[in-house]
Structures are given as structure tokens and as C-alpha cells.
Amino acid sequence: MKVIKLSIPGLLLIKPDLFKDERGFFLETYNISHYQDILGEKIKFVQDNMSYSRFGTIRGLHFQKDPFAQAKLIRCTVGKIKDVAVDIRINSPTFGKHIYVELNGDEQYQLFVPRGFAHGFSVLSQFAIVEYKCDAYYNKAADAGIRFDDPELNIDWNIPDESVIISDKDKNYPFLSELKRGNNNDTSI
């Protein structure tokens, strides 16, 4: 397994050992002892989620408000996505910055997104199945997000405007600047 630290501290791209032959491939997708070593902390994932989406779908940018924030371990099991993480930690020198990586079913790479980030992805293939682990349970009252088309973030989702499929909820999230103005704590939005 190879671990790459990305340009925003805390974000990791994990390249698992993938064993391929004429039958297909095998990989170990998660082993708590290995991941605690990689992450340098006691992460305990308590919930697994999965989505199926077709080309042009954008999901995000989602997060859970404190104290229900979630760290996530994301992978695309089938298809191809552009996976995006935005730093929403108020005192971070990279606040408002984002990274993106391509995740796909051929490589089975994983993206670790710690607490304090908004997350989203766009589907670049005909369809995609995305699975992710969370270290805290979903809390409906803490559900929040940032507009996918926030001009301050200027994220290129690699989807033509006429092909974008997005939920009404995701279309109507506030912009990052609105969230920052309304924030009353000093850790994350």
C-alpha cells in the first residue's frame, strides 16, 4: 500500500496493493490496524455508505456541522469520479482551498478526508458506484453543505453545464462566504 500526502494537510490518497490476474483482481479494502498506522490516530469507522449515480451527477459539497463532523474514507468501486475536498477549518492556512483526485474502479484508490472538510464528487463515466466509510454517524440536524458552483471555490467538475444533474438540496446550499459570516465558533464551519 502506498500513501500520498496531498497539498492540503490531512488529506491522503491511498493506493492499495491490487493483485490482478486473468480472473480479475483482489485487494484488501480496509484493515483497521493498517489504517490506524497510516492515519496516525485512532480512527474507528462506524458507518458505510454507497451511492449509484449516472454521468453528469454532482453530489456535494456536503459536511456535518460540529460536533457531528465526519472523517471519510472514499473509493469508487465502479466507474470514474472527480472527488473533491474543501478545507472548511476556519483557522487553517488552507481554509477555502480544495483538492481533487480521480478515483476509479480500475485502480481502486481511496481518498481519506478528515473532519473539517466539505466533500463532493462528479461522475465522469456512464455511471459510478461510490462507497465510503464515516467515523461518526449521520445526524440529520447537522447536515450542511456549500454550493457546488461557488465562484469563490471555482471548482471545475469536468461536466458540461447542459449535462449536470444535481439535487435541489445541493443547488440551494449557501456559498462559503455566507457560511463563514454566520459561523460562531473558531474551528470549522
Distances (CA, A) of 3 to 12, 15, 112, 117: 7, 6, 10, 19
Active site annotation includes 98: no
Active site annotation includes 132: yes
- Is the Cβ–Cβ distance between 25 and 105 less than 8 Å? no
Catalytic option among 35, 62, 98, 100: 62
Q: How far is CA 80 from the centre of its chain?
A: 14
Closest CA to 59 of 68, 67, 69, 49: 49
- Is the Cβ–Cβ distance between 60 and 121 less than 8 Å? yes
Give the list of residues 6+ apart from residue 153 with CB closer than 8 angstroms, or none.
Answer: 61, 86, 96, 98, 146, 176
Give the list of residues 6+ apart from residue 99 with CB closer than 8 angstroms, or none.
Answer: 6, 7, 8, 11, 84, 85
Catalytic option among 35, 100, 109, 132: 132
**C-alpha to C-alpha distance for 189 and 90, rounded to whole angstroms:** 7
Residues with a catalytic annotation lie at 62, 132
